[in-house]
Amino acid sequence: MNPINDIFLRCHVEKAKETKRNFIPRMVNANNSIVLTFDTETTTDEFQNLIMGSCGIWINDKLERFIVFHDDDLDHNILTTIQKFCIKNNYEILSRARFVDEIFYPYVYKSRAICVGFNLPFDISKLQSYFTESRKMKNGFSFRLSENKQNPNVVIKHNSKTSSFIEFTKPFSPKNEKKKDHYKGCFVDLKTLTFVLQTSHIHSSRP
């Protein structure tokens, strides 16, 4: 009876190609050293159109920039008054469109600054040039703030009277471009925080 010969095989493992199914984006964290706060002022009628807004940028707990922005088609007399005020106080002044492209996205999206405001859904909606229903979040809205396709929309969905989900959509990218980790943004609504603190105080003070 003939003995069984040993058989040796040499093999290697091929790296799996990245596909839509096996690509899992990592969580991208915010930059805690940069904080951007902003607020808007609107008309008092039912339309509540943007008149102006103010924005402060803190880096390492130090105020680095203060910007005043205004509606792109603001009345000339009101704009002149705002310009005089900014010149007197040495504040930067920008139109809404320039504020969005030169301040909001460079800091909040690209530099991953923490975006802080009171009733952020309202203020963010005043920066938009167009909005539609969100395809990602049911009963949510997608706001286009910039005409630059590289700047993603902001999706907002109200969870309750005091809280909302706010995040960046995935930015436009060519089909042949390598997939990148998706940064959803870091939005802190002080309206929600205030409600939570008040509720916690009421419960803790009960006997």
Amino acid at 126: K
17 with 23: CB under 8 angstroms? no
Give the count of alpha carbons within 13 A of 142, CB side only.
14
pLDDT of residue 98: 98
Rounded CA separation 162/134 (Å): 20
Domain ranges of the chain: 31-205
pTM reported for the whole predicted model:
0.80
> Average of pLDDT values for 156-182?
82
Q: What is the DSSP letter of 160?
A: S
> Average of pLDDT values for 66-94?
97
φ, ψ at 166 (rounded to 5°): -135, 130
Rounded CA separation 186/95 (Å): 24
pLDDT band of 43, cuts 50, 70, 90: very high
170 with 185: CB under 8 angstroms? no
